């Protein structure tokens, strides 16, 4: 990667910052500082690492990106704007009732697979997508999930990490935007990247610590992740909240607040490169190797139930019987369970079609998230069951 390319990516990161700052100012609400810390991460992913299809963002062969820290969506909208997929006018309408660009991303948008914003849920969905890629589609697409560091206090993150390593999801890359600051104070680990990395390492991830504002370190980490086999990768990216905004960068009390409108010009002048060459940056196209799938919604063919009138059958037993029959009818019917498959009778599907069953162990939040991830881009029809006593 040459000097010009690096400068292009740095310039792009600053474009994402400026866009994030401007759109949240226009909305008079939103999260510019949480966006600014992630600017280089998103710039490098979208304009160097990931293979995406601007014309058809939900192309099943394209790489997936899950913004688990959904409140930082301005930087994501900015990326799709810079890629040419969102107009300036739309972008500046963020958070207006007339605009689909909400304050947290939803799958109503053609480039969003799963709704995020309620923290801690994205990695499970991403793990479901990665599972589909590796074991169901057997395709080359990869899944990138961006988390906040405050969010890593959520247990569901660790359920997902354990799942991803158990199933050797080496097509899954977790990136933590470790900007040190939560909503109201410093996070539990602050900037102790080693401590956070140890946690991901102990949960079976290959772990890399980088300066999250350094595009070369980021690109290098993605490269290592791509070469890592049989383990997911977790990149702990040390960043600064509000990076690039004088007086706000790395300061507390700036969560979820637009910058003062009269400071935008100075910020822009300071950040933007006069010889900006981002115009030549291109996103990479996917390799179209994911199978075309027509899921049989509303037209599945299966024999009718074999019960006689008066038969008494436990609901869960009927569920297991029906699930196995559905599995016969469609190879993309996938059962998931939380180590209760002999109670829920989802084991009926496992016994007939082991490749159509995902054991999720006793981690029900992750189970549901994985199911959500599996069904994205019509890759599968998941049936999630567990015993909640």
Active site residues: 364
Contact call for residue 158 and its own copies (CB under 8 A): yes
Contact call for residue 205 and its own copies (CB under 8 A): no
Contact call for residue 150 and its own copies (CB under 8 A): yes
Q: Which is nearer to its own copies, 10 or 187 (CB)?
A: 187
DSSP-assigned states of every residue in 127-169: HHHHHIIIIIS-----EEEEEESGGGGSHHHHHHHHHHHHTT-
Give the Å distances, CA to CA, from 380 to 58, 70, 162, 167, 318.
Answer: 15, 24, 22, 18, 22
Residue 186 backbone dihedrals phi, psi, to 5 degrees: -65, 145
DSSP-assigned states of every residue in 73-127: HHHHHHHHHHTTSS-HHHHTTTT-TT-S--SS--TTSTT-SS---STT-HHHHHH
- Please pick, from the candidates 29, 88, 118, 227, the single residue that binds its own copies as defined by CB under 8 A: 118
Among candidate residues 183, 170, 176, the one with its CA nearest the CA of residue 158: 176
Contact call for residue 117 and its own copies (CB under 8 A): yes
Among candidate residues 330, 334, 333, the one with its CA nearest the CA of residue 301: 330
Tell which positions 320-379 bind its own copies, by CB under 8 A: 337, 339-343, 347, 359, 361-363, 365-366
Q: How far is the CB of 159 from its own copies (least distance, A)?
A: 4
Q: How far is the CB of 76 from its own copies (least distance, A)?
A: 17
Contact call for residue 20 and its own copies (CB under 8 A): no
Contact call for residue 157 and its own copies (CB under 8 A): yes
Which region among 32-40, 59-67, 180-188, 223-231 touches its own copies (by CB under 8 A)? 180-188
Contact call for residue 207 and its own copies (CB under 8 A): no
Residue 25 has a CB neighbour count (10 Å cut-off) of: 19
Q: Which is nearer to its own copies, 173 or 181 (CB)?
A: 181
Residues 6+ positions from 164 with CB-CB distance below 8 Å: 123, 127, 130, 172, 174, 204, 205, 232
Q: Which is nearer to its own copies, 195 or 302 (CB)?
A: 195
Q: Which is nearer to its own copies, 43 or 236 (CB)?
A: 236
Residues that bind its own copies (CB under 8 A): 104, 117-120, 150-151, 153-159, 162, 166, 182-185, 187-188, 195, 198-199, 201-204, 337, 339-343, 347, 359, 361-363, 365-366, 388-389
């Amino acid at each position: 990667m040459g000097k010009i390319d690096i400068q292009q990516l740095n310039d792009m990161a600053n474009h994402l910052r400026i866009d994030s700052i401007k759109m949240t100012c226009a909305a008079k609400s939103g999260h510019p500082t949480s966006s600014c810390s992630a600017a280089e991460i998103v710039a490098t992913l979208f304009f160097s690492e990931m293979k995406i299809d601007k014309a058809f963002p939900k192309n099943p062969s394209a790489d997936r990106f899950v913004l688990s820290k959904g409140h930082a969506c301005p930087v994501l909208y900015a990326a799709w704007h810079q890629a040419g997929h969102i107009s300036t006018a739309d972008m500046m309408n963020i958070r207006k009732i007339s605009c689909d660009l909400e304050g947290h991303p939803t799958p109503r948008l053609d480039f969003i697979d799963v709704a995020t914003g309620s923290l801690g849920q994205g990695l499970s969905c991403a793990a479901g997508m990665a599972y589909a890629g590796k074991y169901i589609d057997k395709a080359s697409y990869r899944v990138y999930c961006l988390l906040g560091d405050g969010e890593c206090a959520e247990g569901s993150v660790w359920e997902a990490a354990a799942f991803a390593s158990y199933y050797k999801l080496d097509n899954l890359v977790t990136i933590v935007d470790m900007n040190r600051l939560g909503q109201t104070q410093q996070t539990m680990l602050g900037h102790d990247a080693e401590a956070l990395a140890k946690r991901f390492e102990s949960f079976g991830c290959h772990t890399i610590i980088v300066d999250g504002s350094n595009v070369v370190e980021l690109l290098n980490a993605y490269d290592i992740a791509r070469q890592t086999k049989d383990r997911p990768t977790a990149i702990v990216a040390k960043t600064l909240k509000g990076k690039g905004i004088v007086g706000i960068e790395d300061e507390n009390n700036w969560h979820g607040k637009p910058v003062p409108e009269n400071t935008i010009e100075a910020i822009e002048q300071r950040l933007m490169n006069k010889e900006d060459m981002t115009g030549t940056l291109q996103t990479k196209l996917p390799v179209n190797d994911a199978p075309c799938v027509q899921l049989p919604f509303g037209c599945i063919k299966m024999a009718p139930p074999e019960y006689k009138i008066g038969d008494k059958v436990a609901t869960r037993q009927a569920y297991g019987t029906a699930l196995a029959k559905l599995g016969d009818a469609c190879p993309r019917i996938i059962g998931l369970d939380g180590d209760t498959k002999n109670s829920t009778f989802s084991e009926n599907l496992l016994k007939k079609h082991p490749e159509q069953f995902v054991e999720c162990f006793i981690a029900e939040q992750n189970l549901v998230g994985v199911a959500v991830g599996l069904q994205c881009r019509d890759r599968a029809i998941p049936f999630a069951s567990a015993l909640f006593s």
